[in-house]
Amino acid sequence: MKITFLLFTLTLFLSSNTICKKSKAYQTECVSLDTDGYVTILIWNTKKGAKYKPEQARKDAVHAILYSGVAGGAGCSTQPPILNKTEEQDNFKSIEKSFFAKKGKWSMFTRSSATETTLPANLGVKNWKVYQVSISKNDLRNFLEEQKIIKSLTNGF
């Protein structure tokens, strides 16, 4: 009985730990849309707080543009995700590991990662690292079209 309970507990712990690792703890808010195709966002991590690193913030910003989109803010409207269809997300999975690798192509699509001094309104705690990151949404979309991950916006016209 004790062995069964231990195995059950261990299985439950390992599966919940795996699920937690897959969920993203970052939050985003759109700051501005530039005419040159860049989207500037604020990004912070609710689990890492002050330990959030600039490089991870840039990666997470690209991830948000791809998968979840970005909530609107004072200077811009909500940005839907580029990969908004299950088929597109499945296509991207084939290159995702190399794309987000340490020297992956994700870095080509970010322009900056500055620590922001003004915190978003919903953050009451002052020990958060909030970054302002600019992402070239147009270049990222073009890259995904070239890789045949998504279809061109002009496809079918």
Higher pLDDT, 125 or 13: 125
In a domain, 157, yes or no: no
Please state, in angstroms and rounded to a whole number, the distance separating the CA atoms of residues 82 and 6.
44
Query: In this structure, is residue 49 part of a structural domain?
Result: yes
Percentage of the chain with pLDDT > 70? 75
111 falls within a domain: yes
**Whole-angstrom distance, CA of residue 63 vs CA of residue 61:** 5
133 within a domain of the structure (yes/no):
yes
pTM beyond 0.75: the answer is yes
Q: DSSP for 44-67?
A: EETTTGGG--HHHHHHHHHHIIII
What range defines the domain where residue 47 resides?
A: 26-146
Report the domain count for the chain: 1
Q: What are the residues whose beta carbons fall under 8 Å from the beta carbon of 55, sequence distance 6 or more?
A: 113
Residue 17 inside a domain? The answer is no
- Would you state the pLDDT for residue 49? 84
pLDDT: which is higher, 153 or 122: 153
Whether the predicted pLDDT of 147 surpasses 80 = yes
pLDDT given at position 153: 74
CA gap 84, 90 in Å, rounded: 11
- Confirm whether 5 is domain-assigned: no
- Who wins on pLDDT, 50 or 7? 50
Residue 20 in any domain: the answer is no
- 75-112 pLDDT, tens per residue? 789 999 999 999 999 999 999 999 999 999 999 999 87
State how far the Cα of 120 lies from the Cα of 43, in Å rounded to an integer.
9
pLDDT of residue 74: 79
What does the alpha-carbon distance between residue 84 and residue 89 come to, in Å, rounded to a whole number? 7
Is 153 inside a domain boundary?
no
pLDDT band per the 50, 70, 90 thresholds, residue 125:
low
